[in-house]
Amino acid sequence: MLNGNAFGFNWKGLYVTSLIDAHSSWRHRADEFSDTLKTTALFGQYALNKYRGHYYAKSQNLARTLRAVYDAVLKDYDLLLMPTLPIKATPLPSPGAPRIEIIQRAFEMLANAPFDVTGHPAMRVPCGMSDGLPGGDDADREALRRGVNLSRGVGVGEGGGLEGIRA
Residue 17 lies in a domain: yes
Residue 167 lies in a domain: no
**Three-class HEC string of the chain:** CCCCCCCCCCCCCCCCHHHHHHHHHHHHCHHHCCHHHHHHHHHHHHHHHHHCCHHHHHHHHHHHHHHHHHHHHHHHCCCCEEECCCCCCCCCCCCCCCHHHHHHHHHCCHHHHHHHHHCCCEEEEEEEEECCEEEEEEEECHHHHCCCCHHHCCCCCHHHCCCCCEC
Average pLDDT over every residue of 76-85: 74
Verify that 14 and 48 share a domain, yes or no.
no
Verify that 91 and 142 share a domain, yes or no.
yes
Verify that 16 and 38 share a domain, yes or no.
no
- In which domain, by residue range, is 21 found? 1-32
What is the band of 81 on the pLDDT scale with cuts at 50, 70, 90?
confident
What pTM, to 2 d.p., does this model score?
0.62
Q: pLDDT of 55-70, one tens digit each? A: 989 988 998 998 998 8
Verify that 140 and 154 share a domain, yes or no.
yes
User: For position 154, what pLDDT does the model report?
Assistant: 40
Verify that 79 and 14 share a domain, yes or no.
no
- Structurally, the chain folds into a number of domains equal to 2
- The residue among 59 and 158 whose pLDDT is bigger is 59
Residue 166 lies in a domain: no
Verify that 13 and 48 share a domain, yes or no.
no
Residue 165 lies in a domain: no
